[in-house]
Structure 1
Amino acid sequence: MQLHPKREEDSDFKTLHLEERPKAPNRAPAKLVGVLSLLLLGAGVGTAGTYLYQQKPIESDSATILAPSKPLASLPPASTGASAPNWIADIVKQVGPSVVRIDSSRTVENPAADLFNNNPFFGRFFGPNMPQMPDKEIQRGTGSGFITTSDGRILTNAHVVDGADRVTVTLKDGRTFEGKVLGTDSVTDVAVVKIEATNLPTVKTGDSEALQPGEAAIAIGNPLGLDNTVTAGIISATGRTSGQIGVPDKRVDFIQTDAAINPGNSGGPLLNARGEVIGMNTAIIQGAQGLGFAIPIQTAQRIAEQLARSGKVEHAYLGVQMVTLSPDVKQEINSNPNSGLSVREDRGVLVVRVMPNSPAEKAGLRAGDVIGKVDGQSVSDGNILQQTVEKAQVGQTLRFEVSRNGQTINLNVKAGTFPNQQSAPQNRMPLNR
């Protein structure tokens, strides 16, 4: 997370006007970069979400993002078999060649061009010698990735390559390749890039579902244009929900780490003490120390396989906005004359809104319903319900038990397909290099 404005030459995303020659770095004008409250990292053409919550956010089933670390203990886990001073170095030597830098660029409309070129004030000021501002500009960015197959399949974040006209992949040995984006998924922020090469070094994957807080963690990537940077820390927590982090539109239970991650690390691997990839570095929170987040590798692999096969991912979708009930939430809703809802239950998942023409509306779900069970399993938390929907298949029928006006009713909801979304929401900010 970039917490202070920085110079253009210190960042990892730059904008060049078409027909304008790039200037030498030492003559580039200083440019301030705005600070966001929550920053998705990775440059590319990507940007980051701004979310700060004073209370628990409303969740949506139609549901992105790095900090200095504590020093890692010098002794390695006994299972590594490495010598104490060199175990991290040994892992970096083993995995480093599989970590790549991803440079991307895209051509976009210049929003200031029309305002400048057609403004009478500037016309009077400059007269007949008024310069014309180009109506197109090129945005460039840098992120990280890691090679998963010897024939050139690479995993990275969707926001690193979203909308890119050109993607260039640079290996640690200096070789560069044109990259082809096989697919991106904005819901999980996962993308797959392919390069034409053979006999490439690949990463080994670990078990992200077996992680425990306190385990060692190592991050490798290209933060702020500093290639092949290594940081180390621990796994701080697992199962951090998208709602807790402040990105309820995502469907990921994040790994939290205190290994230092910064803009440009996006898409790079998070490793365990055996040198296995356990996550994909993705996010940080503004103003925090040691709060970085990674997508579990099992989630990233599942999405990547679908992207590699068909170029897209189908997520199950209900079409509801919801909030987890508690006695305090119940009292707040009932005491608010503008809520339009009256809640009797203290526990469960309250449906706040049902999207028009959604599977939920077609099945008869209404705002004010309290969901208690799905397929016979009790549901007391909105995040659990969201995970249940994410694991379902498109077209699968889910049996809902809901409480409505004090009566229990059963509804069958056939999961639809998650509506298409852009990988880079408008409230994200490009990271500059």
Structure 2
Amino acid sequence: MKFIINKLSAYISILALGGGIGFFGSRYINQQPKVIKQSQVYPTAIPALSNPPRSQNNNENINFIATAVQKVGPAVVRIDASRQLSSTLPDNFKHPLFKRFFGSDNDNNALESVPDKVERGTGSGFIIGSDGRLITNAHVVAGAEKVQITLKDGKSYEGKVLGTDSFTDVAVVKIDANDLPTVNIGNAENLTPGEWAIAIGNPLGLDNTVTVGIISALGRSSSQVGVPDKRVRFIQTDAAINPGNSGGPLLNSEGEVIGINTAIRADAQGLGFAIPIETAQRIANQLFAKGQADHPYLGIHMVNLSQETKAEINSSEDYGFKIAENDGVLVVRVIPRSPAARSGFKPGDIILKVGDSLVKTSLQVQEQVDVSEIGSELRIEVLRNGKVNNLKVKPSAFPKAEFE
């Protein structure tokens, strides 16, 4: 078991799956102008540089990136969030000795009168409803009930956070406004690596910044991105994503939103990640409807089989089972009293199919469970001791206690 926990803890699944601005100065060197002799002067004057001629409608030289930004830019917002951080000191700091430093001996409330600290942050978001419905990242508005929303035209509104989901890092906000510009929603499921990708947001406090690149890869797991507590398969892009871009839209060449820019790896150079728009919409709909998102839960720990994993398991007495297969999705633990336990799952089962979909990896199993319905029967085919078994399980809502 030690091998499985250590080697694969970044992706052990219970079917559940979570900057500052630098100012740069300039240095100027004063020099005397060089005297030019008359013979050195060019006989024909060089015309001043100017922008290339534009047609009367100013659209002739607009490329697809500019066109996409013109469509979406007005619907991208800046989000300024703040939250109170308690500055209450521990009881042991209320000793008379500490009061000599922090307050008067005659004032028992001196320590409690220290004002709370305020933590502030800036992120991005985009408008999906003309009635003021917005999507952003959960970590942008975490701990804030109200946020300040600023549109591209400078108008500012107080926004109310209607719901956040830490599993997917999606949040929704509502402002009291009507007839707002909105984004067009695209499709992330049909993306191909190498396609254009355009990011809009407020990196480092620089509003409405546009960066461009390509879709570098698809289906990056949460553990690969460095956020193993999330339940997302990320889009990878080389379009520059910096602190402050979080929550802003990732666009295709048509100016349609295909994802929410959400993560940068500290050790990455030129890599960013986005939540596919289908995942974001599914979660946002639940958050707008009831303020929270439910995530189907089975209650199993699973791992992708390999020859190395097989050898480790079969040579150990800790697992209580042996396996003959070299690949597949192996159940290594079943949580007591979970839906999986009630449905007859056992350690050593190899998952072959979830619903009507064949599965080869634990990530594929997770995806199929994510789109299932809580309380509805889900058929799962497993291989046990060389025989195929069909199990019927009803996923429950993910218990928060499992993640605390």
Structure 1 length normalisation: TM-score? 0.74
Aligned match of 2:111: 132
- Within 2, Cα distance between the matches of 1:264 and 1:251? 22
**Pairwise CA distance, 1:405:** 4.1
Query: Which deviates further from its counterpart, 366-375 or 162-171?
Result: 366-375
1:323 to 298, 303, 318: 303
List aligned pairs for 1:125-164, cutoff 5 A.
128=104, 132=111, 134=114, 136-164=116-144
- Within 2, Cα distance between the matches of 1:115 and 1:53? 42
Confirm whether residue 403 of structure 1 aligns to residue 380 of structure 2. no
**Pairwise CA distance, 1:58:** 2.1
Aligned match of 1:108: 85
Aligned match of 2:224: 244
Aligned match of 2:292: 312
CA contact (8 A) 1:214 1:236 kept: yes
**Pairwise CA distance, 1:413:** 0.9
Uncovered stretches (5+) of structure 2, i.e. residues with no partner: 1-5, 19-58
CA contact (8 A) 2:163 2:171 kept: yes
Aligned residues: 355
Cα deviation 1:259-303 (Å, max 9, x = unaligned): 111111111001111211111101111111122110111221222
CA contact (8 A) 2:250 2:260 kept: yes
Q: Secondary structure at the match of 1:212?
A: coil
CA RMSD of aligned residues (A): 2.9
Confirm whether residue 384 of structure 1 aligns to residue 364 of structure 2. yes
- Within 2, Cα distance between the matches of 1:328 and 1:120? 62
Letter of the aligned partner of 1:167 in structure 2? Answer: V
2:16 to 62, 67, 71: 62
CA contact (8 A) 2:127 2:135 kept: yes
- Within 1, Cα distance between the matches of 2:170 and 2:183? 17
- Within 1, Cα distance between the matches of 2:126 and 2:155? 15
Query: Which deviates further from its counterpart, 258-267 or 129-138?
Result: 129-138
Aligned match of 2:197: 217
Confirm whether residue 418 of structure 1 aligns to residue 398 of structure 2. yes
CA contact (8 A) 2:226 2:265 kept: no
**Pairwise CA distance, 1:233:** 0.8
Cα deviation 1:356-381 (Å, max 9, x = unaligned): 32111111212232222233543221
What is the percentage of aligned positions where both structures have the same residue?
57
Letter of the aligned partner of 1:395 in structure 2? Answer: G
**Pairwise CA distance, 1:175:** 1.1
List aligned pairs for 1:286-301, cutoff 5 A.
286-301=266-281
- Within 1, Cα distance between the matches of 2:117 and 2:7? 34
**Pairwise CA distance, 1:243:** 3.5
Structure 2 length normalisation: TM-score? 0.79
List aligned pairs for 1:12-161, cutoff 5 A.
57-64=11-18, 86-110=63-87, 113-114=89-90, 117-118=93-94, 122-123=98-99, 128=104, 132=111, 134=114, 136-161=116-141
Letter of the aligned partner of 2:144 in structure 1? Answer: A
Uncovered stretches (5+) of structure 1, i.e. residues with no partner: 1-51, 65-81, 427-433
**Pairwise CA distance, 1:160:** 1.5
CA contact (8 A) 1:324 1:347 kept: yes
- Within 1, Cα distance between the matches of 2:207 and 2:10? 38
- Within 1, Cα distance between the matches of 2:311 and 2:61? 56
Question: For the pair shown, which has the larger CA radius of gyration, 1 or 2?
Answer: 2
CA, structure 1 residues 127+269, in 2 after alignment: closer, same or farther (shift >3 Å)?
closer
**Pairwise CA distance, 1:85:** 6.3
Confirm whether residue 260 of structure 1 aligns to residue 240 of structure 2. yes
Aligned match of 1:44: none
CA contact (8 A) 1:57 1:246 kept: no
CA, structure 1 residues 127+237, in 2 after alignment: closer, same or farther (shift >3 Å)?
closer
- Within 2, Cα distance between the matches of 1:375 and 1:85? 48
CA contact (8 A) 2:376 2:394 kept: yes
Query: Which deviates further from its counterpart, 135-144 or 350-359?
Result: 135-144
Cα deviation 1:156-200 (Å, max 9, x = unaligned): 112222331321111111111111222222222211111111121
CA, structure 1 residues 109+343, in 2 after alignment: closer, same or farther (shift >3 Å)?
farther
Which one has more relative contact order, counting CA pairs under 8 Å at least 6 apart?
1
- Within 2, Cα distance between the matches of 1:285 and 1:164? 25
CA, structure 1 residues 353+247, in 2 after alignment: closer, same or farther (shift >3 Å)?
farther
- Within 2, Cα distance between the matches of 1:96 and 1:392? 35
Aligned match of 1:182: 162
CA, structure 1 residues 126+347, in 2 after alignment: closer, same or farther (shift >3 Å)?
closer
CA contact (8 A) 2:103 2:111 kept: no
**Pairwise CA distance, 1:306:** 2.2
CA contact (8 A) 1:60 1:386 kept: no
Cα deviation 1:315-335 (Å, max 9, x = unaligned): 221111211111122123333
Letter of the aligned partner of 1:291 in structure 2? Answer: L
CA, structure 1 residues 187+55, in 2 after alignment: closer, same or farther (shift >3 Å)?
closer
- Within 2, Cα distance between the matches of 1:135 and 1:327? 59
CA, structure 1 residues 191+53, in 2 after alignment: closer, same or farther (shift >3 Å)?
farther
Aligned match of 2:255: 275
Aligned match of 2:373: 393
CA, structure 1 residues 365+83, in 2 after alignment: closer, same or farther (shift >3 Å)?
farther
CA contact (8 A) 1:333 1:342 kept: yes
CA contact (8 A) 1:53 1:246 kept: no
CA, structure 1 residues 135+408, in 2 after alignment: closer, same or farther (shift >3 Å)?
farther
CA, structure 1 residues 221+377, in 2 after alignment: closer, same or farther (shift >3 Å)?
closer
- Within 1, Cα distance between the matches of 2:163 and 2:74? 24
- Within 2, Cα distance between the matches of 1:182 and 1:127? 40
Letter of the aligned partner of 2:93 in structure 1? Answer: N
List aligned pairs for 1:366-385, cutoff 5 A.
366-375=346-355, 377-385=357-365
